[in-house]
Every structure is written in C-alpha cells, then in structure tokens.
Amino acid sequence: SGGPDYGIPLGRRDGLTFATVNATLQNLPPPFANATTILSMLATKNFDPTDVVALSGGHTVGISHCTSFTTRLYPTQDPTMDKTFANNLKVICPTVNSTNTTVMDIRSPNKFDNKYYVDLMNRQGLFTSDQDLYTDSRTRGIVTSFAINETLFFEKFVVSMIKMGQLSVLTGNNGEIRANCSVRNADNKSYLASVVEELPVEEAWSDL
C-alpha cells in the first residue's frame, strides 16, 4: 500500500494463549477517547506523544463502522468537524446506529501515506481520537510536522512499530515458537509430525 519497509527484530516467542476481548479493549484506546486519554494510556507502555501520533497514522488506510464516530454527528455535530465532511458522513451514516462503513482517510484511502495528517489539519479526522491530536497543543505540532514531511512520518512510524513489537516479550521457557503463526503448537500436532517425518534428522532439528 506504499508504506515504509523495515526490518523486524527476530527471536520473539509466541504466547500460549490468545488475548481476550476484554484484555484487547483495555489496551486499545477507544475511538471516542480524547488526546489526554490516549497519551495517558500509551504512556503506561512507554510511548511518548510522537509515538502516539505516529501510530495513529496507521489510520491512513482501512475502514470504520459508523458506530465508531456517529456520536460526533448526532444529536449535535462536533464543532471540531468540518461541516462539509460531516454532511457527507451523514449521507453514509443516516442514524447513530447505522451499520454502514466508510474509509478512514478521504484523500487517499488505499495508500499508506501522510494524508491522514492533512485530513486532521482540515478538521476531517474521523474519530475523536484522531481529530483531538490536532486540537491538543501537546500533539498538534507533531501532526503538522508529519503532514508536511512524509519521510519524517515514515521514519517515526517505523521506530514506534518496532517499539510496539517489543512490548511484553516472552523469554526463556515462556511461550513457544509456533510452526504456524496463527495456531498454537498444541493445536497443530499433525503439522509438526508431518514436517519432522518429511525432513532428514539434521534439517528437521534446525527447522524446529
């Protein structure tokens, strides 16, 4: 989609359990959160304001359900939202409980670029958690710098993504190295057996 290429540090072990819905929601700022909430939540994971703004830039691609932002439209419109942008969203989401979806970046929805930040500067951020990054004085300058300089955004996004990938790393005998990234080894015994049977002993050991 046009985003930056970067090397991912190797060696991280996989967990033996999958996150519950509640645990996931507790660790992800909701779309209606303001900058203070987002900065506070992510500060507990050692993310600074630049990390927060850079990671939010992932919203340059993807879609959102209406229910994630219609409280900004109904019953009264959020004054920080551009009027034309709001009117267009009301066509897509005619009620507060609409089940429709819309793109998160109106300028280049299918390209990973810095246009998300240009959206924010034009009061066209979809979520409160997006637009408040430009409203809040602690993050406004960072938004502006990324809107002006896409290379800077890419550089900071890479740093923050690698940083996020190193949260709560399992070491030693904790976790496992999965044969299939999306399936725990305990649920994947037939796959492991077939790999071992098909390879010479030395190669099988090196692969595992």
Give the up-direction half-sphere exposure of residue 203: CA atoms within 13 A in the CB hemisphere: 6
Cis, bond preceding 75 (omega within 30 deg of 0): yes
Question: Do the annotations mark residue 75 as ligand-binding?
Answer: no
On whether the CB atoms of residues 14 and 188 are closer than 8 A, the answer is no
Give the closest residue to 14 by CA, choosing from 178, 172, 171, 161.
178
Does 113 show up as a binding residue in the annotation?
A: yes
Q: Is 119 annotated as a binding residue?
A: no
Q: Which two tokens stand for residue 164?
A: 């996020």
Question: 15 exposed, middle or buried (CB, 10 Å; 0-12, 13-18, 19+)?
Answer: middle
Check the annotation: does 82 bind a ligand: no
* 60 annotated to a ligand binding site: yes
Known binding residues for heme b are: 59
Annotated binding site: which residue ranges? 29, 59-60, 105, 113
Binding-site annotation, residues for Ca(2+): 60, 105, 113
List binding-site positions for substrate: 29
